[in-house]
Amino acid sequence: MCGSKKLDSKARGIMNKFVTAFALCAMVGSAHALSLVQVGPNPTGSSTLFRGTGTANTGNQKARLELAGLSTIQGGNPGNGWFYGNNPRSWEMSWNNTNKTVSWKLFSSSDWTGPEATNGLMNGAPVFQSGHDLVGLAFGRSLATDTSLNLDNIMFNAGSGWVDINSEEGLFTGGGFTKTYYAFNGTMTDWVLRGTANFPAGTTSSDSMRFFVEGVQAVPEPGTMVALGLGLAAMARRKRKAQVR
């Protein structure tokens, strides 16, 4: 009986430590503000969940939103000079984490005010692959030869204030295709991404002058469970040492 009570006491102690370790992991995760970290190429096994595009195409709408599992949404056509010359326009992407919806907007101004080229209609809930989450964003551009794109004022806000993404700003010249992946770091929540864009040189009637932002989905890395596993392993080592003594 005495030995049984000692075992029960040890079991309760181990269980309490387990619960405490799990709670600490959860607290650390929930307190970690969401941010973007530049990584490079998209992670292995990932795919595009959504893509917001701005284009200089003179024969088509100036924006579109592609959503996994749904039809592409085309924005309005406010005029062929929309992005051309030294006339930057502002753009904005936002994510509602409760409803799992994304919106994509282009504005006539350079400060996210005034009429939208997208008429407020470019939003929807993309279809996730089973077991996948939104894990990052990819910034891309495609430019034909003798064309250029100016991206500026790119900022990210997940509720803690605007953070500049200077690494995606600058004057880019054609031709070719470029895409850079940024992983989300922290607890997913609502967020807004915005910037300005214009094409100082070149003209096209195709899709060869464009910029875009992609939402990337993948099986999330089990960071919390890894931390929990390390904590349990440490407790097991301590128990073995105590038994030896």
Res. 167: pLDDT tops 50: yes
> Which residues are within 8 A (CB) of 26 and not within 5 positions of it... i.e. 6 or more apart?
224
Phi/psi for 95 (5° steps) reads -125, 125
Rg (CA), the chain: 24
Rounded-to-integer distance, Cα 157 and Cα 231, Å: 33
pTM of the entire predicted model: 0.77
**Per-residue confidence band for 25, with pLDDT thresholds at 50, 70 and 90:** very low
Tens digits of residue pLDDT in 214-236 = 999 999 876 533 443 444 455 55
- Inter-axis angle of helices 2-31 and 223-244, nearest 10: 150
Res 153: pLDDT: 97
Chain mean position to CA 46: 13
Pair 107, 92: CB distance under 8 Å: yes
**Per-residue confidence band for 53, with pLDDT thresholds at 50, 70 and 90:** very high
SS3 241: helix
Highest-confidence range of 10-24, 109-123, 204-218, by mean pLDDT?
A: 204-218
Res 68: pLDDT: 97
**Per-residue confidence band for 30, with pLDDT thresholds at 50, 70 and 90:** very low
Which of 37-46, 103-112, 195-204, 207-216 has the weakest average pLDDT? 195-204
For the beta sheet containing 133-143, the strands, ordered from the edge strand earlier in sequence to the opposite edge, are: 35-40, 176-185, 133-143, 209-218, 47-55, 63-67, 73-74
Residue whose C-alpha is closest to residue 212's, from 98, 54, 94, 2: 54
Res. 141: pLDDT tops 90: yes
Pair 225, 117: CB distance under 8 Å: no
**Per-residue confidence band for 32, with pLDDT thresholds at 50, 70 and 90:** confident
Average pLDDT over residues 10-19: 51
Res 240: pLDDT: 55
Res 221: pLDDT: 74
What percent of the chain has a predicted confidence (pLDDT) above 70? 73
Res. 16: pLDDT tops 80: no
Strand partners, 124: 102
Res 152: pLDDT: 97
